[in-house]
Amino acid sequence: MTFKRIAFALAALLLLAILGVGSFLVWQSQAGGDPDFFEREIAAFEATDSREMPPPNGIVFTGSSSIRLWDTLADDMAPLPVLNRGFGGAHMEHVVHNAHRIVTPYEPLAVVVFVGGNDIGSGKSASQVAEDFRSFLEIVRAELPDTDIWLLSMKPSKLRWDKWPIMQELDVALRAFAQSDEHVRFVNTGEVLLGPDGTPDDVYIFDGLHLNAVGYSRWTSVLRPLLMAQYGPTSE
């Protein structure tokens, strides 16, 4: 009897998880085409800033939920001064729309961007997303000509593995942006999430989309040395 109850409970939890992921994906798909979809989160950032504006010359991390959920970001990047401005299940169009509110006001030394998976997951082409990236680069370049922009590559997740070829097309475009602008850097943070067989490794939480602690540690192992080399304290 006890075994049956445990099995039933586990089955119920699995069903709830599946339904939760399904609802999340539907919610994300509704975000596309509505630039103000995440207005509440953006307004919350502004409310926080009104109480205490972060100092300039930090490193702003922005993008979708993989940035928003990076709870260990400050510790992972220490002693670099970082600011997390990831939000919702953002598409690149939302980052573009809100750049004047969550990126440029901080006058950062650098901006780290991870976004694009939700765009492609909702059916956008690599070229569509690349054009939104271009718009973001133009905004930052116009207002902050000396600020570096670090573009993190796409994430080969289990849930969207069928979209990986399109994501790789987008990575090619992002790499091209970096090659044409000395202030734009492309970082291949996707390859460290693949296992020896070339498929997504065990670096995701139950939904197969968002990183677990191992996944974030792998991102950190790639990105932190690059940022430290560029912006870290110099030895005397």
pTM score, two decimals? 0.88
Question: Does 116 score more than 60 pLDDT?
Answer: yes
Give me the sheet containing 82-86, strands edge to edge.
82-86, 59-63, 110-114, 148-152, 184-187
Question: Does 100 score more than 90 pLDDT?
Answer: yes
Which residue shows structure tokens 């969207």? Answer: 160
- pLDDT tens-digit series, residues 144-178: 999 999 999 999 999 999 999 999 999 999 999 99
Q: What is the dihedral of CA 59, 222, 120, 166, to 10 degrees?
A: 140
> In CATH, which superfamily holds the domain spanning 2-231?
SGNH hydrolase (3.40.50.1110)
Structure tokens at 117: 């998976």
- The distance in angstroms from the start CA to the end CA of the chain is 69
For residue 87, which of 149, 138, 42 has the smallest C-alpha distance? 42
In the prediction, which pLDDT does 6 show?
55
